[in-house]
Amino acid sequence: MDGIGINALALILTLGLLNCVSLGECVPNAQPQVPCFFIFGDSLVDNGNNNGILTLARANYRPYGIDFPEGASGRFTNGKTIVDVLAQLLGFRGLIPPYATAQNNAILRGVNFASGASGLRRETGRNLGDHYHFAEQVEHFRSAIQTMKRNFKGNDTMLTDYLGKCIFYVGMGSNDYLNNYFMPNLYTTSYQYSQKAYSTILLQEYSQQLSQLYDLGVRKAAIVGLGQIGCIPYELARLNNNTNNNRTCNDNINKAIAIYNAGLLQMVKQFNTKPGAKFVYVNTFESSKDLVSNADTYGFSVIDKGCCGVGRNNGQITCLPYQTPCQDRTKYLFWDAFHPTEAANLIYAKKAYSSPSTSDVYPMNIQQLAIA
């Protein structure tokens, strides 16, 4: 930014002449690398779809969004989510809108269908209230396609070709463990199924819904694995309640997640045998291990507690309305009991987008997927 004053930079950003992931990383705006970007998922990427429904799984109040230009938009973090960053890295000028408020003319460039507390199973997350589970999100996409058809004069072939060039981000499964399997007082799944059997059932549902998306024209998809759920502040607070160690992860949960992720990778490989399919697996589990192991390198000094929350590890109760969060959010890996800070989301997004390592994203990164 040498030679550009703050006022001049603000004017350039206002005019849309630069695309910035951060103030230090601005590039001239050009056409997006793909025509559209569609998102399916849970609270990690929800950007406001839960705002208007009856649920505890919402984040449209301060201090959520304290570092976000639009304020408390419904994002479950202090600033950008991973898909906000990915959209910018892919060259989109504005944010991808939530399905709940998307205008018809905006759907062509992509929509975010994600919903906090959602899972692969229909009953998952019902302890928190209403939400849109994965099958409902797929149905919302089906409805969006009907809207898009009008722009293509009903030409299904042209629409299918168009969708085949777009990138689809899909991240499901966290709540099927957090707000289902590992909540035995409210759900019976842990009594009914072994960890292996449960992962098989989840992946069967996942595969069915992805098959529907494939039939609807999805060809380029980033399928996101689960991170180290056993190491989030919520689980640390529960596991370490009677100890003095704030950083002992729940290995039982992480083992269950590892079983699920291994099956998810195999599912991605299987989908890549379908004609035209180019699916990639985003290994969030390994990325999250890397961020913890090399916290200092990434600029994090607090990796075991939320920036905002209540109780041990700031993880026993999530961020309360108008609560005062930590002062320097860039030093914290977690924003609240469950969700990363914007600083962490920036790193996760960059790994998924441009990492050269297949241990981060397989068999190619999202930047390569865009041009594949």
- Dihedral sign for Cα 287, 293, 299, 302, please: positive
- CA 315, CA 53: separation in Å to the nearest integer? 25
- CA 142, CA 134: separation in Å to the nearest integer? 12
Please identify every residue annotated as catalytic. 43, 336, 339
- CA 175, CA 170: separation in Å to the nearest integer? 14
Closest CA to 22 of 299, 342, 302: 342
DSSP string of 120-179, one letter each residue: SSTTTTGGGB----HHHHHHHHHHHHHHHHHHTTT-HHHHHHHHTTSEEEE---HHHIII
Backbone φ, ψ for residue 347 (5° rounding): -70, -45
Cα angle for residues 243, 318, 281 (degrees, 5° grid): 90
